[in-house]
């Protein structure tokens, strides 16, 4: 599984990455993480605001930090 966090590295972006890593560890999933900070690369995705979570090239959420239950559901 490839997971991308889209965002400049702000507190919300870092929090989203932390929560997602915790969810991956809880589920015991093998995942590769990438934190995309380049604005041109972020604009290639259909997101209007960051932070954003992309799982296997599918945008799951943007503009907010999802609950842990949401994250677990998307990663199952």
Catalytic residue selected from 13, 16, 23, 53 = 13
Catalytic, 20? Answer no
Q: Are 25 and 1 in contact (CB under 8 A)?
A: no
What ranges in 6-48 are assigned the alpha helix state H? 11-27, 39-43
Catalytic, 9? Answer no
How far apart, in Å, do the first and last CA atoms of the chain sit?
11
Residue linked to tokens 């702000």: 10
Catalytic residue selected from 1, 2, 9, 10 = 10
Which of the residues are catalytic?
10, 13
């Amino acid at each position: 599984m490839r997971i991308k966090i889209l965002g400049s590295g702000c507190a919300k972006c870092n929090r989203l990455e932390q929560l997602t890593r915790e969810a991956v560890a809880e589920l015991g999933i093998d995942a590769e993480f990438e934190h995309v900070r380049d604005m041109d690369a972020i604009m290639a995705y259909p997101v209007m605001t960051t932070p954003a979570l992309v799982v296997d090239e599918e945008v799951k959420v943007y503009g907010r930090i999802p609950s842990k239950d949401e994250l677990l559901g998307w990663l199952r």
